[in-house]
Structure 1
Amino acid sequence: MLIPTLISHSSRLCICLTVMLLSSWCATASAAEENAEPANTPTAEQLRFFETKIRPVLAESCVDCHSADLAESDLRLDTLVGMLDGGKAGPAIVPGKPASSLLITAIGYQDGTLQMPPDGKLSKQAIADLTKWVEMGAPHPESGEAAKMPRKSNIDLEAGRAHWAFQPVVKPEVPAVSQPEWVKNPIDAFILHALDAQQMTPLPAPDKRTLIRRATFDLTGLPPTPDEINAFLADESPEAFERVVNRLLDSPHYGERWGRHWLDVARYADSNGLDENVAHGNAWRYRDYVIESINSDKPYDQFLREQLAGDLLANEGDYRKRNEQLVATGFLSLGPKVLAEVDSAKMEMDIIDEQLDTLGRSLMGLTLGCARCHDHKFDPVAQADYYAMAGIFKSTQTMESFKIVAKWNENAIPSPEQEARLAEQQAKLDAKKKEVEALVAAATTSLKERLKEGEALPEKPETQFTAEEQQQLKTLREAQQQLEANMPVLPTAMSVKDGKIEDIPIHIRGSHLTLGETVERGFPQVIDIPVENKVPADESGRLELSNWITHPEHPLTARVMVNRIWRWHFGEGIVTTPDNFGLQGAKPSHPELLDWLASTFIEKGYSLKEMHRLMMLSQTYQLSSERDPVRAETDPDNKYYWRFNARRLEAESIRDAVLAVSETLDREMGGNLLNVKNREFVFNHESKENVDYNFTRRSIYLPVIRNHLHPVFSLFDYADASVLNGDRQTSTVATQALFLMNSPFLEEQTEAYANWLINQEEDMFARIDLLYEKSYGRLPTDEERARLESFLQQFPTVWRQDHPEADDAAVTVASWQALCHAVLAANEFTYLR
């Protein structure tokens, strides 16, 4: 979005005020470096991308002809060195330069003399992945420091279990500290103990206005109202903040905010993406399930069991519970799928791989997908472990059909009343069909008698029925068609169920065409806990998997989740790679604190709300976010939590906060806003989007369309809905500031905000105070009041130059709209301190 070339006088004045209010929006965009060499030290995420997206394609489509066994044209594609050295035609890849890479040219069929694979072009997704990989600098396990990692042909389980994340969770003693009076709960003791070791001290607490704004956005994703702020200010008791936290946890908006966090992990989307971007018309039921579960403080272990095996859990004959548990299994079905893949066996294994990758990283912080083609390069996960788990999902029906365009499975979730109506209508239809059959039989008998008497056989025997018989038949068939048209349609949900039960063989190099030894269904052997690992011969094993993952002695499940909760509260995880607890992931900054939190989480019945209370009522959460140059010199990244991490609001909170302060937010919960029918394309034949975003509901209810996000989402670092993401990144680019200054959305909402302020207060200074308190949670300083008063005095004269016909009422609205717009475009509105 560009600033218009011609800017009116009034707009120029508004922009000046905006610049005055903006604290420091950095609009520097760094140019991408052109790598001549592969990435020196690939990140864990880059290696995961290679192992899950690139290696399987190379293994299936390239290395049969380009490997140590057979290097056609002297080219090897089974090693990084082979790709860099290339063959007779030159290097296969130039890291960072896909346009200069022969591999990309060949797979794109851009040159009639160089087209690989020769027996058919790769899928669009595979080409896009390979291009992206080269663009990234061709990260590979052989490059940089990763080359120094020991390669494991045989997994040493005992050595693997020595890694901190596979060690049992043991609740440590709370340490002694230098300032015990500072400690509000054990969290503070662990934090202060680490600070003591660095000879550092934490910052003091912020003012109460900052604290309630922080807590309200943190738990609900919305700003506090002036009444809520003033009630907190008036409460001088030691329990005042605790009461605020409890009130926010009881708000239905809490589930919307924290449900959105989980949906990032669940890679939630309302469309499939990839090759066939068709609508997930019933995905919203899973989203609402998540919100309701979190609002009700459903124990986390139960939450996981329902998502992995809800269809297999007991429901005591309660249809609501049955339907809820079926909807929960949508977690396994939400991933993107290549629905037009001609090879159904490949499609199925790719879907299973996506499920395993999601399950591993979301629930255990393990990159299981890296063991599809071979033993995991770094973690103690054997290829046999991968296919033991893959067999569980091979025995699960995720897809209704693999025929192009493939369809995912949906299960009916009716109420007893809906089932009764359907049965009643079906009975009427069956009775009508019998009447038709009886009439046809009788008329046919009559016709046969007439034929015996010498009548000629008609071309259409039915036309030889008597007029009365034909009229009766017409009436009956019309009634039958009416019944069929009015047949109730039962609600359905994206969900899974047990399918054909089978163990599967190891796929050599990840290829479903080259099979090895069959592996019994089971779980990764490195995690040794006292639970029955044997999967029943007549069941998929998902129920056993859900019990294994949620076992209290599982070393990863509780650790991973408390780390996620900590990251979403404090802006950085104790483990800074929340989706990877393996050897390529980060080590915990405070390992004892992590284990204390995990143990406490289990002890408190896996209650998320108890963890919120624990973290938010700590002194650590209630620190100022101000920067201190002395402390920053010792700990510039705030690794030791000497202050609270200031951070920008997420895309959803920015949009929702604008709607909230302008009093246009529709707070209705739940339901479907996707105006495209289930399994229909979200783009029409002209590639124009069919989806409507014109709602003032909370952002969590807006459709999430893969490959084409809502403009606000894409600008402000929304999670990639095609993959799980427990660690959203924050960028700072000029287009974000331009959006806040120029977008029609902000124009519309600030006009509504201005009208609301004008109707609320007659006095100019009272309006200014209300504007600041609603927007920033604080009152303006005397200097700010004077500055805004000057703006409001100057603006009408300047604005009338462009609008000479405007009356006084229009001038007043325009003045306050410009002021509201400037306030909402400032950093203070979009940042949490």
Structure 2
Amino acid sequence: FALGKTIHGMAFTQFDGIIHWDQAGWNETDGFPSEIRAALLVDVEARTKDQIKQMRDYFVEHEPLITQQAEELKMARAQVSEFKKSIPTMVISRAVAPREIRILDRGNWMDESGEIVQPAIPEFLGSLQIGERRVTRLDLANWLCDSENVLTARTMVNRLWYLMFGRGICSSVDDLGGQGTFPSHPELLDHLAVEFIESGWDIQHLLRQIAMSATYRQTSNASPELEALDPFNELFARQGRFRVSAEMVRDTALMISGLLVEEIGGPSVKPYQPEGYYDQLNFPRRNYVPDQGDNQYRRGVYTHWQRTFLHPMLKAFDAPSREECTAIRAQSNTPLQALTLLNDPTFIEAATMFASRIMREGGTTVDERIEWAYRTAVSRPIDAVIAEELRTIQTEHLRHYVQEPDLAKALVSAGEQSSTAELDPAEWASWTSVARVILNLHETINRY
């Protein structure tokens, strides 16, 4: 006879004492272990909890679909574990009971008789609505971005205005306190601060508002009378003139030459750097190897930064050492900057590739190529005086490199992208000289 049974959702069929799985994915023809056989032969109502557990475990252990999924789950957990091990960790301190802070009499840290003080914000900036409990760092963070806080929005707006005009509405960008300078347009600062808060602290929205304003769209040219009246452009009656940041100086040369790789994100990259620059660094000693391929032409913001030994090109153009917070960078104009633009391997390679563009895309005559090169670099037509100077440079250098072919080949072979196979080396070298001058122009590295 045959007797069908359903046990906790699992269907079995018994034939003459040999148990077969039914609706479970396979047939077991060799029989079950003795304890499982015994459990199956017991009436359903009479089975003990141990017998039911043994049957369930046996089913889970031998069902192919379940074992496959269990193996996949095990592999997934192993991958998650390996990923967690690869995540960098940092040392942090655990929160402990805050220590007692007192006012020190004449700075004497051994005198414990002073009044106990509690953390708080400056009284003239309001108060924190926290009841009787002690203020926490989270309370400070919430207050910094509170719409009632008059400080944060104004500070951020002033810094964004500085980025757009070269000076802030309050010229002391790093100090909006009582020791800073008074805003030249306090109503404008208040208006933009309110706009910034009401937009949900949307930086792109605020930058768009500034960029579309009539003030931003002004020319940087000014009459002698206006320059005498407002030499520092405090009235914002004209657009500002200022050199772009160090990273953007390099980006500008790479963009003009066609070398710039605009990939976003990723690890730091190592452009060309003088050999032995890290010789003074120990524990451990650094071995700087410049990157190859696209990484050599990434934006300057991705350049490897060795704290006080930052890249020489960035240092020459006033990039900070990052040893302390810098809200506003220094602006200098030194001979070292001109030498960097002329001799740094990155800029030589950029000039070489820009020269190849001039020869391929700039037209057929010298005048057409000079006009095209200047307009490509500074986005305006060339003046006759400048055109004449560049024409003279191209002519004289062409004559020189025709007589010195080895020097011409050495110049146009700089960097990874250069090649002397397609263009005449002497002519290419002469246009490289023109390109080096254009990349060194005041107009090229300054924002007008």
Q: TM-score, normalised by structure 2?
A: 0.69
- Give the conservation status (yes or no) of the 8 Å contact 1:651–1:718: yes
Q: Which amino acid aligns with 2:334?
A: V
Shift of 1:496: 5.7
Q: Residue in 2 aligned with 1:699?
A: 300
Quickly say closer, same or farther: Cα 1:804–1:743, change in 2 above 3 A.
closer
Q: Which amino acid aligns with 1:640?
A: L
**1:630 paired residue among 215, 225, 231:** 225
Shift of 1:775: 0.8
Q: Which of 702-711 and 563-572 deviates more?
A: 702-711
Q: Deviations over 1:279-327 (max 9, x none)?
A: xxxxxxxxxxxxxxxxxxxxxxxxxxxxxxxxxxxxxxxxxxxxxxxxx
Q: Residue in 2 aligned with 1:527?
A: 125
Quickly say closer, same or farther: Cα 1:495–1:700, change in 2 above 3 A.
farther
**2:257 paired residue among 636, 645, 662:** 662
The CA distance in 1 between the partners of 2:83 and 2:193, in whole Å, is: 51
Identity percentage of aligned residues: 28
Q: Residue in 2 aligned with 1:489?
A: 85
Q: Deviations over 1:670-714 (max 9, x none)?
A: 122279xxxxx9975388644556432111111222211111111
- Give the conservation status (yes or no) of the 8 Å contact 1:522–1:535: no
Quickly say closer, same or farther: Cα 1:488–1:766, change in 2 above 3 A.
same
Structure 1 segment 701-780 matched on structure 2, within 5 A: 701-761=302-362, 763-764=364-365, 765-780=367-382
Q: Does 1:797 align with 2:399?
A: yes
Shift of 1:804: 6.6
Q: TM-score, normalised by structure 1?
A: 0.38
Q: Does 1:653 align with 2:248?
A: yes
Shift of 1:818: 0.6
Q: Deviations over 1:25-68 (max 9, x none)?
A: xxxxxxxxxxxxxxxxxxxxxxxxxxxxxxxxxxxxxxxxxxxx
Task: Choose between structure 1 and 2 for higher RCO, CA contacts under 8 A separated by at least 6 residues.
Answer: 1
Q: Secondary structure at the match of 1:505?
A: coil
Q: Deviations over 1:191-240 (max 9, x none)?
A: xxxxxxxxxxxxxxxxxxxxxxxxxxxxxxxxxxxxxxxxxxxxxxxxxx
Q: Secondary structure at the match of 2:349?
A: helix
Unaligned runs of 5+ in 1: 1-418, 428-485, 676-680
Q: Does 1:824 align with 2:422?
A: no
Q: Residue in 2 aligned with 1:506?
A: 102
Q: Which of 717-726 and 736-745 deviates more?
A: 736-745
Q: Secondary structure at the match of 1:707?
A: helix
Q: Deviations over 1:133-179 (max 9, x none)?
A: xxxxxxxxxxxxxxxxxxxxxxxxxxxxxxxxxxxxxxxxxxxxxxx
Quickly say closer, same or farther: Cα 1:494–1:616, change in 2 above 3 A.
farther
Q: Does 1:640 align with 2:235?
A: yes
Structure 1 segment 29-40 matched on structure 2, within 5 A: none
Q: Deviations over 1:383-431 (max 9, x none)?
A: xxxxxxxxxxxxxxxxxxxxxxxxxxxxxxxxxxxx986853799xxxx
The CA distance in 1 between the partners of 2:122 and 2:387, in whole Å, is: 63
Quickly say closer, same or farther: Cα 1:507–1:565, change in 2 above 3 A.
same
Q: Secondary structure at the match of 1:500?
A: coil
Shift of 1:521: 3.6
Quickly say closer, same or farther: Cα 1:799–1:686, change in 2 above 3 A.
farther
The CA distance in 2 between the partners of 1:494 and 1:667, in whole Å, is: 31
The CA distance in 1 between the partners of 2:108 and 2:307, in whole Å, is: 27
Q: Residue in 1 aligned with 2:412?
A: none
Q: Residue in 2 aligned with 1:620?
A: 215
The CA distance in 2 between the partners of 1:423 and 1:635, in whole Å, is: 67
Q: Residue in 2 aligned with 1:97?
A: none
Q: Which amino acid aligns with 1:721?
A: R
The CA distance in 2 between the partners of 1:425 and 1:815, in whole Å, is: 58
Quickly say closer, same or farther: Cα 1:806–1:815, change in 2 above 3 A.
closer
**Structure with the greater alpha carbon radius of gyration:** 2
- Give the conservation status (yes or no) of the 8 Å contact 2:408–2:429: no
The CA distance in 2 between the partners of 1:609 and 1:759, in whole Å, is: 38
Say how many residue pairs are matched. 349
Quickly say closer, same or farther: Cα 1:514–1:752, change in 2 above 3 A.
farther
Q: Secondary structure at the match of 1:799?
A: helix
Q: Does 1:685 align with 2:339?
A: no
The CA distance in 2 between the partners of 1:620 and 1:784, in whole Å, is: 30
The CA distance in 1 between the partners of 2:212 and 2:399, in whole Å, is: 51
- Give the conservation status (yes or no) of the 8 Å contact 2:401–2:407: no
Q: Secondary structure at the match of 2:102?
A: strand
Q: Which amino acid aligns with 2:78?
A: E
- Give the conservation status (yes or no) of the 8 Å contact 1:503–1:520: no
Q: Secondary structure at the match of 1:526?
A: helix
- Give the conservation status (yes or no) of the 8 Å contact 1:650–1:718: yes
- Give the conservation status (yes or no) of the 8 Å contact 1:717–1:730: yes
Q: Which amino acid aligns with 2:336?
A: T
The CA distance in 1 between the partners of 2:84 and 2:315, in whole Å, is: 39
Q: Secondary structure at the match of 1:625?
A: coil
Quickly say closer, same or farther: Cα 1:821–1:543, change in 2 above 3 A.
same
The CA distance in 2 between the partners of 1:533 and 1:698, in whole Å, is: 50
The CA distance in 2 between the partners of 1:825 and 1:805, in whole Å, is: 21
Q: Which amino acid aligns with 2:101?
A: P
The CA distance in 2 between the partners of 1:666 and 1:609, in whole Å, is: 24
Q: Residue in 2 aligned with 1:424?
A: 78
